[in-house]
Amino acid sequence: MLKHILLTLAVAACITSYAATGDTTIIATHTNTNLASPPSDDDVWAVFPSTGSYQRIIMKFTLGCGTPNCSGWDYTVNTSFGKKNGALDSAIVSIDTLALDTTWSYSDHVEFIEAGRLITPYGTYMAAGSNGYNNSWTHPYYYDVTDYIGILRDSVNVRVHYDGWTDAFSAKIEFILIEGEPSRTVENVREIYHSYMGYANSVDFESQATPQTFSIAPQVTSAKVLVIMTGHGSQGEFDPHNIHLKVNSNTVYTHLLWKDDCGMNAIAPQGGTWIFNRANWCPGEQVPFYEIDITPYIIPGQNVTLDLDMDDFAIQNGESAGYGVSAHLITYTAQYNNDVMLEEIISPNSDKPYLRHNPISTEPKVKIKNMGKLPLTHADVEYWVKGGNHYYYEWTGTLAPFESALITLPPFDWNGLDTTDRIFYAKADWPNSVPDEYTPNNELTSAFLMAPKLDSAFFIYFKANDHPEENWYIVRNEAGDTISFKNSFTAGAILRDTLNLEPGSYVFDFNDYDAQWEGGDGISWWLNTQNNLETSGQLSLRKMNGNILKNFNGDFGSNIHYEFTVGYPLGYNAPKPIQEPPIHSTGIANVQAHNLNLSLQPNPASNVVVVQVSSNVIANANLVLSDITGKVISETKLAGSSQYQTAIPVAHLVKGLYFVSLYSNGTTSTKKLVVE
């Protein structure tokens, strides 16, 4: 066995790596399968391990151009997992009208559950070999499918459904199974909805997304609802509306079904209206999904009723709306209280989904996720490059279970980098200032490209189009100080902004916002020029003699982000002081909440300790007994009331120092307990 390795998904052309406690298995299903029109299913039966425990299962979906080439339209592509359920499907083979006899064929019935969705890009440029693309173009998408471990056993039908009416794209799918215990133990995955819900108004939607009732097993300790949803039709695709999740008739979650950043698409430019914001999708992007913690609203051993609703809205004459909905109830029998995941490295990262933000020479960006049962209010982030010094950042905020946060880290020292093996490391730890109860998901790595080195003196060349009010740019140094800022330009005029820079690292951001489109349309977009809505502009960085250092494509959508260094070797910056890691004395947060009182009697205790809690309201509260390392010994969920008393046996415990903590609505109260 390989112990504590970092799995670099280079075997699947993936840059981001995942910490592993054991071996890794790669299972390939679709191998550049042609996704031809009309809308169709491409099914591949694959054999997965029948036994074994996996800390994470990542599905890598690589989209490419099919035969004859990439389609010029945006379509949905769904990936689902199918299992035989023991039932039979039947179909008529032939009918003998003279003998009044019918011949039937029978096959095993397969039940499918959707695990991922993406939207194909407008592939005109790929097909035409223009704008830096050609027909060999590919783009990877990554899905964490660890929750589907119960389905990904033995024989599994992996289905790709291409919803397109024009040819074609291709699909390559690889599953990366990383051995080890998962952070959560899945009890069951059940489908709530899976259908296309077309309708004339929201009442029609709610008549199709009817309430569904499920039994919660007695051993369940936590649960979530996962929603994958996209809008279709003229009003469904281009109008934002709120979705609501009701649990036992009470609304517990509301979210606007809308993507307002299509102009920041990683696949840019495209030969279509890729910049338009849409209902939870952007052409060429992975469809986001919502993870909704419903643990506070379920009772093990009882039923729960789930219902997905939408805001009321009227369909205009001649318009249409519909929604593709997949929703699952996922229940767990084991989950840690304090577990922070390092979910993603945004920059530095040279993988294709992150090209918009890279390469960098200043502030790294990472994403953390709360995988614990308790709200996450604190985490440490450690980061460094291979061969360089370690740097630290303490994050504070509030994340409910399953929620994520994007963190911009302070600039760090790139010196000492192993230039032959450029690897960036990031590690999240100390959730809620206690030792992380599950560490395999704490660390990620990424390969990266170095930021370019420019001359100390050069100029920004900008020829504005006839809507210069949409544009502004800023040049900042590593400390965030503004070197140059311009937001006033003359239509059709050329600006030459000369910069004389000291040695250091710098960021150039050029922005565009068109109020008509409610997003960025760059300074040269085919739809604008074709319809005489805007003329074309030009943007580049140039040497003082006029030679071009960097030319920017005017069809960039909302933003151009360009980082560079001056006066240092390629990609390096000024050395920084060496940092010491944050100090955590016991790993137990000791925050006394207002109107939240916790008392222990007797203390010291040798047999039983009586815990008394008083508060204005005790809601969604957990009483946790832990040892000095942060290991949870026992946990009690408190009922909603203002007073609570319980007895905790301690006679079986080793003598020493322990902690009793009350977690309620994001607030923590902790008392020391001495066991004699």
Domains along the chain with CATH numbers = 1-183 (2.60.120.230), 198-315 (2.60.120.230), 340-447 (2.60.40.10), 457-566 (2.60.40), 596-675 (2.60.40.1930)
pLDDT at 100: 64
- Residue 93 burial (CB count, 10 A): 9
For residue 602, what pLDDT band results from cuts at 50, 70 and 90? confident
- Nearest-angstrom CA–CA distance, 509 and 484: 11
Distances in Å between the alpha carbon of 667 and those of 133, 335, 378, 428, 460?
52, 20, 12, 21, 50
pLDDT at 101: 61
- pLDDT tens digits for 196-249? 988 766 667 888 899 999 999 999 999 999 999 999 998 999 999 999 999 999
- Six token digits for residue 390: 């370690």
Distances in Å between the alpha carbon of 278 and those of 266, 318, 516?
16, 19, 14
Mean of all residue pLDDT scores within the chain? 88
What's the order of all strands across the beta sheet hosting 154-162?
Answer: 40-48, 154-162, 76-96, 101-119
Three-class SS of residue 126?
A: helix
Name which residue leads in pLDDT, 164 or 15.
164
End-to-end CA distance of the chain: 42
- pLDDT tens digits for 247-292? 999 999 999 999 999 999 999 999 999 999 999 999 999 999 999 9
- Six token digits for residue 616: 């204005």
Residue 65: name the closest of 127, 6, 113 by CA.
127
Yes or no: say if 566 and 541 are a contact pair by the CB < 8 Å rule: no
DSSP assignment, residue 611? Answer: E
Strands annotated E in 321-390: 322-335, 340-347, 365-370, 376-385
- Nearest-angstrom CA–CA distance, 63 and 162: 11
pLDDT at residue 342 greater than cutoff 90: yes
- Nearest-angstrom CA–CA distance, 248 and 297: 8
pLDDT at 584: 80
pLDDT at 606: 86
- Six token digits for residue 61: 């979906």
For residue 8, what pLDDT band results from cuts at 50, 70 and 90? very low
Cα 135-160-230 angle, rounded to 5 deg:
95
- Nearest-angstrom CA–CA distance, 425 and 448: 11
pLDDT at residue 603 greater than cutoff 80: yes
- Nearest-angstrom CA–CA distance, 645 and 658: 19
Which element (helix H / strand E) includes 405? Answer: strand 404-408
pLDDT at residue 594 greater than cutoff 60: no
- Nearest-angstrom CA–CA distance, 204 and 277: 25
- Residue 647 burial (CB count, 10 A): 10
pLDDT at residue 19 greater than cutoff 50: no
Q: How large is the average pLDDT for residues 554-560? A: 96
Residue 295 phi, psi (nearest 5) = -55, -40
Residue 524 phi, psi (nearest 5) = -160, 95
- pLDDT tens digits for 455-468? 999 999 999 999 99
Q: Which amino acid is at 636?
A: T
Q: How large is the average pLDDT for residues 142-167? A: 95
- pLDDT tens digits for 452-499? 999 999 999 999 999 999 999 999 999 999 999 999 999 999 999 999
For residue 105, what pLDDT band results from cuts at 50, 70 and 90? low
pTM of this structure? 0.82
pLDDT at residue 532 greater than cutoff 50: yes
Q: Which amino acid is at 52?
A: G
Contacts of 606 (CB under 8 A, 6+ apart): 650, 651, 675, 676
Name which residue leads in pLDDT, 194 or 91.
194
Distances in Å between the alpha carbon of 168 and those of 35, 59, 78, 324, 513?
6, 22, 15, 21, 32
Three-class SS of residue 497?
A: strand
Q: CB-hemisphere CA count at 13 Å for 426?
A: 29
Q: Which of 22-36, 159-173, 526-540, 642-656 comes out lowest in average pLDDT?
A: 642-656
- Six token digits for residue 626: 């832990």
Three-class SS of residue 616?
A: strand
